[in-house]
C-alpha cells in the first residue's frame, strides 16, 4: 500500500529523493517560488509499494501563519491517485495548530477553475469570497498586501487548521473513483453516453451575466431563453459537465430540455428534481432550481440576485421568475434533498439498490426488540411479507 514517509525532508533532500526514484520525472518548481513569500522548507513524500517516491507536498512556518503548497505527483503517482488526501492528512498534524494556512492555487495542467472550486469546497477562502475580509484579519495587513501583490488575479487563499474528522468532508481532484461510479462505467452505457442533453440554439442564447463560483461560466457560458416574464437558464456548471472535459460527449441532443420545461414551468420557487425516463433501473437525474424576484441565483459568485435588471429582450417585460437547470447526473446514492417532479413518464421516486440497502441497515440498527410497539410492527411486517410470498408460490 502507498504510504507517506514519517520523515520531514528539506527542499534539496526531497528533490534528490524524487530525482533518484523518478529519473525521467524529477520534481521541478518555478525559480520565483523557491524564495520569497512562497519558499517552502519542509516536505513530505509519499511512496509506492516499492518505496519509490510518487508524490510530495511542502510547508513553511512563519511568525503569523504557515505557507503550504508545492503539491506534485509523478506519472505513477497520478495513476495511483489519492495523493492530495494522503499528504494533507499527514501534513496537518505537523503544522502549528494556532496559525492559519496560506496557499496559492495554480494547477500544473492548467485546470485552475476546478482546482480552485475544490479548494473552496474544502474550506479555503479567496479574495473574491464574501467572508474573506473576516478571514484575512487572522493575518497582519502587510502579509495580506504581499500576497495580493504577488497574486493579483486572486488565486491565493486562507484557511484554518482542520479539526478531527474534517478531512472526510473534503473532496480532491485525484481522489480514487468511488465504487458506484466504477459500477456505472462497467455497464453498457458510461457517463459519456448518459450525459448528452444540451439546450437548443435558438431559442437559447449565451447569458454570460451568471457568474459561477467554480468559474465554469468562463468556458461554458450559461444559456437563456425568455418566455414572457419568465426566463429559463441552463447553468454553466451543467454545461461544463455535459459538454466539457469532465463527462462531456460529442453525441449530444437538443430536443429534451424544452420538454422538461413543460413539467416545471408552473411550479413555485423551490428546489426540484426529475428523472430522464421511466425505466425503474435508470437513475439519470435532472436538478432544477426555481427562483423569483429577490432570490439568489444558485452558486453565483459574486452573488447575483433576481431584480429589475433582467428583461425579455423582445417584449421588454421584467423577468419575475427564473427556471434554472442546475445539474444532471446518474444518481446512485440517496435521493436528492429536493421535491420530486413527475416527468418523462416517471411518476414516482426510484430507489437505487444501494439506497435500499442502507435503509435496511439503518432499520436493523435502530430496531429495539424490547420495545413492544416496535416488536409488534416488526411481526406485522414479517406476516405481510410471508403472505405475499405464499401468494407468489401458489401461482
Enumerate domains of the chain plus CATH numbers. 3-169 (3.40.630), 183-354 (no CATH)
In this prediction, the residues of the chain whose per-residue pLDDT falls under 70 are 108-111, 164-165, 168, 177-194, 244-251, 329-336, 354-356, 358, 385, 388-395
pLDDT of the residue at 188 = 45
pLDDT of the residue at 253 = 79
40 CB-contact burial (10 Å; exposed 0-12 / middle 13-18 / buried 19+): buried
pLDDT of the residue at 390 = 54
Please, are residues 117 and 177 in contact by the beta-carbon 8 Å criterion?
Answer: no
Please, are residues 197 and 252 in contact by the beta-carbon 8 Å criterion?
Answer: yes
First-to-last C-alpha distance (Å) of the chain: 54
Phi-psi region of 51 (alpha: psi -120 to 50; beta: other; left: phi over 0): left
Per-residue cell: 165:
474528522
pLDDT of the residue at 384 = 79
CA triple 337-341-347, angle to 5 deg: 115
Residues 6 or more apart in contact with residue 305 via CB below 8 angstroms: 294, 295, 296, 297
Please, are residues 275 and 285 in contact by the beta-carbon 8 Å criterion?
Answer: yes
Amino acid at each position: 500500500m502507498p504510504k507517506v514517509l514519517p520523515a520531514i525532508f528539506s527542499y534539496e533532500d526531497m528533490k534528490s529523493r524524487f530525482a533518484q526514484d523518478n529519473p525521467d520525472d524529477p520534481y521541478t518548481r518555478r525559480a520565483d517560488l523557491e524564495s520569497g513569500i512562497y519558499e517552502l522548507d519542509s516536505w513530505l513524500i509519499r511512496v509506492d509499494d516499492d518505496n519509490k517516491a510518487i508524490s510530495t507536498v511542502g510547508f513553511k512556518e512563519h511568525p503569523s501563519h504557515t505557507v503550504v503548497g508545492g503539491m506534485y505527483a509523478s506519472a505513477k503517482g497520478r495513476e495511483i491517485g489519492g495523493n492530495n488526501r494522503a499528504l494533507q492528512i499527514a501534513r496537518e498534524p505537523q503544522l502549528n495548530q494556532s496559525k492559519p494556512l496560506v496557499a496559492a492555487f495554480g494547477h500544473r495542467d492548467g485546470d485552475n477553475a476546478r482546482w480552485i472550486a475544490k479548494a473552496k469546497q474544502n474550506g479555503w477562502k479567496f479574495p473574491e469570497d464574501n467572508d474573506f475580509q473576516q478571514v484575512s484579519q487572522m493575518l497582519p495587513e502587510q502579509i495580506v498586501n504581499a500576497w495580493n501583490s504577488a497574486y493579483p488575479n486572486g488565486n491565493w487563499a486562507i484557511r484554518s487548521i482542520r479539526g478531527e474528522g474534517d478531512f472526510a468532508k473534503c473532496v480532491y481532484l485525484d481522489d480514487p473513483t468511488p465504487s458506484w461510479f466504477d459500477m456505472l462505467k462497467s455497464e453498457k452505457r458510461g457517463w459519456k453516453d448518459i450525459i448528452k442533453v444540451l439546450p437548443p440554439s435558438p431559442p437559447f442564447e449565451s447569458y454570460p451575466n451568471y457568474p459561477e463560483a467554480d468559474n465554469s461560466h468562463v468556458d461554458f457560458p450559461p444559456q437563456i431563453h425568455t418566455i414572457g416574464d419568465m426566463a429559463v437558464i441552463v447553468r454553466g456548471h451543467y454545461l461544463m459537465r455535459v459538454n466539457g472535459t469532465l463527462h462531456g460527449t460529442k453525441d449530444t441532443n437538443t430536443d429534451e430540455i424544452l420538454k422538461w420545461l413543460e413539467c416545471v414551468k408552473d411550479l413555485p420557487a423551490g428546489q426540484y428534481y426529475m428523472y430522464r425516463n421511466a425505466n425503474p433501473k435508470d437513475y439519470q437525474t435532472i436538478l432544477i432550481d426555481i427562483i423569483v424576484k429577490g432570490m439568489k441565483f444558485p452558486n453565483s459568485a459574486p452573488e447575483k440576485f433576481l431584480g429589475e435588471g433582467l428583461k425579455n429582450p423582445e417584449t421588454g417585460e421584467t423577468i419575475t421568475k427564473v427556471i434554472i437547470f442546475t445539474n444532471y447526473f446518474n444518481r446512485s446514492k440517496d435521493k436528492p434533498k429536493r421535491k420530486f417532479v413527475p416527468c418523462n413518464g416517471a411518476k414516482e421516486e426510484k430507489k437505487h439498490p444501494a439506497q435500499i440497502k442502507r435503509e435496511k441497515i439503518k432499520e436493523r440498527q435502530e430496531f429495539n426488540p424490547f420495545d413492544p410497539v416496535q416488536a409488534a410492527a416488526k411481526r406485522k411486517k414479517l406476516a405481510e411479507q410471508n403472505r405475499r410470498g405464499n401468494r407468489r408460490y401458489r401461482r
